Structure 1
Amino acid sequence: MTESVDALVERTSAFVRGRVIPLEQDPRWGGHGPSPELVEELRSAAGAADLVAPHLARSGRAALSMRDTARLFRAAGYSPLGPVALNIAAPDEGNMHLLERVANDAQKAERLVPLARGEARSVFLMTEPDNGAGSDPSLLKTRAERAPGGWRISGRKWLITGATGARFAIIMAATEAGATMFLSEMNRDEIVIERVLDTLDSALPGGHAVISLNGLFVADADVLGEVGQGLRYAQIRLAPARLTHCMRWTGAAQRAHDIAARYACERMAFGKPLIDHEGVGFMLADNLIDLKTAELLTDWCAEILDAGARGSQESSMAKVAVSEALYRVADRCVQILGGLGVTRDTIVERVFRELRAFRIYDGPSEVHRWSIANKIKRDIAAQR
């Protein structure tokens, strides 16, 4: 933990508290996320503070390790709008990670550079409706067929985060050689946003959309990586993405706890502050236990990724434990605040909704537990 990282985390924390939190009541933050105008204002402020994608390599400093990234992302996540301002929110942050490791130089120049600068947004088109791919990627129905000079892609996707206003997409489609990733601009006639879903969460720009791909032509030069390697590349993206979600939402849960703790110390009931009633005080104590558990599990998995391991099982363990721990924290905070907790007079109600959704996206807890159990079974079989 170098002084430079300490200073960066402190600057991030000060920026979120001073510039981002005052915008949380802005009417431009609606049910489908912050508006393009609000995103632009947030990004402009972050740019002026030299805090756009601050975890990436830049002149005079290497990219942050995952362990140091965890500290930075927790500080940014203290407001749900913080990661949007710093350009470290999903899906862009995960797409940057994927492009950095898989894209060729031309693709990086065209896609990664403006994405990292916060000048463009992106989407990751994998999940499908109609009994298509979701937690089970083998159900992939979207097809890419060979065409002169490239491919034609047809299918439907849904729960596509950030589609409205995104500049380009990473598309997962089945080919004869296996699942493959493709790059495409979003402003194509063959890409139709059917509708934006009304969802429990609303922190991310562009909401979550249903999209049709109607014979979309993609040139050979826009194949991301190698044909048939899409599922392998998805794993490159997914393990770190699960973990960065844990980092960001730990910051938000800490914020909810801080609000509830202050309220419990100030609010009087039955002749004493709420915190002096064990039913409330013990909930706050359990919050600290869950928050520290989330932090330690995230840092443990981050160190595994820093060591060069894939971390698939470890990130599944962290995702389950952290998402469920943070949800408990938010739920307790709502309960402690009572009537205030179900209003939007504080950020706690919104954090509660976001953390409920977190237990599903990037793989529901049950799928991760199933994957972990299968690993246990394979390990036992290998010992026989």
Structure 2
Amino acid sequence: MPRNRALVAAGLALLVLLLAVPAVAPQALTAWARPGTTNDSHAEPVTWSVTVDEAATSRWGTFDVALTWTDPAASTRDGFVLDLPAELVPLTDTFDVRAATGQVVARAAVDDGALTLTYTDHALGTLTGTATFVAGWDDGPSPGEDITLTFSAVGTTVDVAISLDAEDEDSPGPRLYGYWRDRAIEDTASPEAALQWRVVTGRGPVRDTVIDTELGDGHRLDCTGITGRLQTAFEANGDASAAHDLPAGALDVVSCDGSGFTVDLPEVEPGTALMVLFSSTVTDPARTDYSTSAGFAPGSRDLNSTIERATSIGTGSVAVSEPTAGASQPRAFLQSPGWLWLPLALLALGGSTLLYRLARRR
């Protein structure tokens, strides 16, 4: 009889176990999953705004773009995406958005078309944050142009109006300038022919003139890419409105190596100007600027130009408000009640086994 009672007790313990597991197991199975999705229609919407630094009025400069947002239901989302206007070229890749405690609450990734914010497990309650990245203009906008930049995210858009500064009239004399071939490659290592340089003689007549160029540290000249272009008409600011390339061999390159070259110019007629085009490859991507100088002889006119690398580190900060009562909890295993079914199951199984063994001894 005692043995039968023990068997009945063991059976009851197993029955309790079978009834308890379904009640708590669903939570245990989802302990690592973030509650809700980015499409949760019951979650409060994200509000956001964008500001563009006033340095954006310079056609050739770089500037900060700052996203400020508030997400009252961050614990139900994985993040969101800010679509960027096509006129901008982001010069920042990825960066962390941290709380005052140092915890990474979100990670930001920037590419040519979007800023993507991805929340971490510390994104709980209400988030109010700012993410700032560096950008420049693409080839489209012109000095003096009025531009409307349209940003979009979570079903809404924001327009930011920018008026680019007009350029001053250029001197008709000689000049040297340089620029990045592609703004998007400023922060990549050693791009081939990334730096483009131009030496312009100024308006003719120009006769018996030699140009000596010398490159500074951190980049190397491409001797095979030295070409000439004759400018025949000009805008009010000095930019050429009509030009054509010189035939191969029209420029007499006297000497050339990776650090510079000397070229003997052909005769330049009155009302025209000759541009010498060349490029260089970055050899030291850690540098923040790259320089080139050019001297005209006779006349000993010395010119200098520097191409700067944009500071492309993004920054982010966020304030986290604790979730209200009843709000979803973080994705932490021990904070879900689902884990309790395991010790309960072991306890019930152990108890039933002990009772069974005691019954057999009797």
TM bucket (normalised to shorter chain) is: under 0.3
Structure with the greater alpha carbon radius of gyration = 2
More helix per residue: 1
Q: Relative CO higher for 1 or 2, CA cutoff 8 Å, sep ≥ 6?
A: 2
TM-score (norm 2): 0.23
Report the TM-score, using the length of structure 1 for normalisation: 0.22
